[in-house]
Amino acid sequence: MSKSHSHAHAVDFKTAFTIEKLDGSQVKITGELPYVELASERNAAVVALGKNVELDGFRKGHVPTPVLEKHLGEMTILAEMAERAIAHAYPHIVEEHQIEAIGQPQIEVTKIAPNNPLGLTITVSVVPEFTLPDYEQIAKDINKERPSDEVTDAELIAKIEEIQKQKRAYERMQELAQQQSEEPKDDTDLPTPESEAAKATEKEAEGAPLPELTDEYVETLGQPGQFKTVDDFKTKLREHLEIQKKQDNAAQHRANITDAIIEKTDMILPQILIDSEINQMFAQMEEDIKRAELKMDDYLAHIKKTREDLKKEWVPAAEKRAKLQLILNEIAKQAEIVPDADEVKKQTTELMERFKDADEHRVRLYVASVLLNEAVMKSLEEK
């Protein structure tokens, strides 16, 4: 007798079912449910099946049970009882055998007859088993090589030159457009950044010396009144570059740590996880396209690709994302890292205020996952 989730079952889910590991991070569950498990679902099955039955002389949904049973037929009722018994038993089987199932199970009934045990096999994807490499040492090694966030004088000079060249190219384009508007021609002759005229103009200017950096000159850069003197311009530009460099370095450093850990982790991913990541990538892309007030089909036509082309291209990135999430979860488990409960509550409340129709449970899971990932990454960066 298995007593789980505070209600009793006439079956020991541990011994009644055997587990076989399959390729591709899947397992096959095989066993039988005693008929008593199906019988306990009979009333619910008849009620569910009878909801939409219309028979002469009876109101819809008010057909007496014996009449209804005769109308439905024993095998229809038995199939519904089996479906309900399996749905009820499945979570218990997974729990008893400690299976970390992901996605929907594929269920096949192998034997069904009145007053007989129900034979079934269930195939389901599971969280892949893998061994973490020495992630602490990997993080330590990469942390030693983290580049400085300081902006060098050479980087500042290079950026100033880039701004000056962009300004010069823009002014030449304006001149070119002015000249051409004075000599009406085909629309095709209008300058574009890719046009031969624009390229020739820029090439011609490449050798020419850039203007001297004076207070008057820097006043013409940026928004009106943004820069007063050369020193003011350099200070503000350096500050801007430092913020940018800090962000770029932080993102690159994290990628270096995670890439190195992924590379040293052997793992066979179930297809369902790769598909799930690709679906998320499509959802994000559709969101971006919608925000730009475009249509997905128009965008695909513009880039001359189909959804299938993109799916194939995205597989490596999707695999990487799925592996990373599993690795971060495993590190969190081993290092006993948990997200801050107050922060989870606070961010969940904030999101629920913005998205009132969202499922709060799913929002909380999402917030907890994001905060857990952040906590794990911080711990790796501090090694």
- pLDDT beyond 90 at 379: yes
Same fold, 2-126 and 250-381: no
Range name among 18-22, 73-77, 173-177, 333-337 with the lowest pLDDT average: 173-177
Q: Name the DSSP letter for residue 223.
A: S
Instruction: Please count the helices (runs of H) and the strands (runs of E) in the chain.
Output: 15, 6
Tokens 């505070």 sit on residue = 6
The whole-number pLDDT of residue 200 equals 59
Tens digit of pLDDT for each residue in 166-225? 998 888 888 888 888 776 655 555 556 556 555 655 565 566 788 899 999 999 888 888
The whole-number pLDDT of residue 3 equals 45
The whole-number pLDDT of residue 1 equals 45
Rounded distance, CA 359 to CA 132, Å? Answer: 34
User: What is 153-215 written as a DSSP string?
Assistant: HHHHHHHHHHHHHHHHHHHHHHHHHHHHHHS---GGGS--TTSHHHHHHHHHHHTSPPPP--H
Radius of gyration, CA atoms only, the chain: 33
**Residue 207 phi, psi dihedral angles, 5° rounding:** -75, -20
Domain ranges of the chain: 2-126, 250-381
Tens digit of pLDDT for each residue in 96-145? 999 999 989 999 999 999 999 999 999 999 999 999 999 999 999 999 99
Percent of the chain with pLDDT over 90: 74
* Residue 77 near residue 69, CB atoms below 8 Å: yes
Tens digit of pLDDT for each residue in 27-60? 999 999 999 999 999 999 999 998 888 888 887 7
Closest CA to 346 of 328, 368, 330: 368
CA atoms within 13 A on the CB side of 33: 30
CB atoms within 10 A of CB 136: 14
Tens digit of pLDDT for each residue in 121-133? 999 999 999 999 9
Tokens 């290079």 sit on residue = 158
- pLDDT beyond 70 at 4: no
Beta strands in 41-117 (DSSP E): 101-111
Rounded distance, CA 85 to CA 284, Å? Answer: 38
By DSSP bridging, strand 7-9 and strand 101-111 are unpaired
The whole-number pLDDT of residue 191 equals 55
Element (H, E) at 37: helix 35-39
**The CATH number of the domain covering residues in 2-126:** 3.30.70.1050
Sign for the CA dihedral angle at 300, 304, 309, 311 comes to negative
Of 151 and 63, the structure prediction assigns the larger pLDDT to 151
Tens digit of pLDDT for each residue in 329-370? 999 999 999 999 999 999 999 999 999 999 999 999 999 999
- pLDDT beyond 50 at 240: yes
Cβ contacts of residue 287 below 8 Å, gap of 6+?
Answer: none
* Residue 262 near residue 315, CB atoms below 8 Å: no
Element (H, E) at 319: helix 307-335
Residues 72-88: what's their mean pLDDT? 95
Predicted confidence band of residue 375 (pLDDT cuts 50, 70, 90)? very high
- pLDDT beyond 80 at 154: yes
**From residue 21, how far is each of 24, 67, 126, 128, 129 by CA, in Å?**
9, 46, 10, 11, 11
Q: Across all residues in the chain, what is the average pLDDT?
A: 90
Residues 232-236: what's their mean pLDDT? 94
Token pair for 33: 């449910």
Fold category of 250-381 in CATH: Trigger factor, domain 2 (1.10.3120)
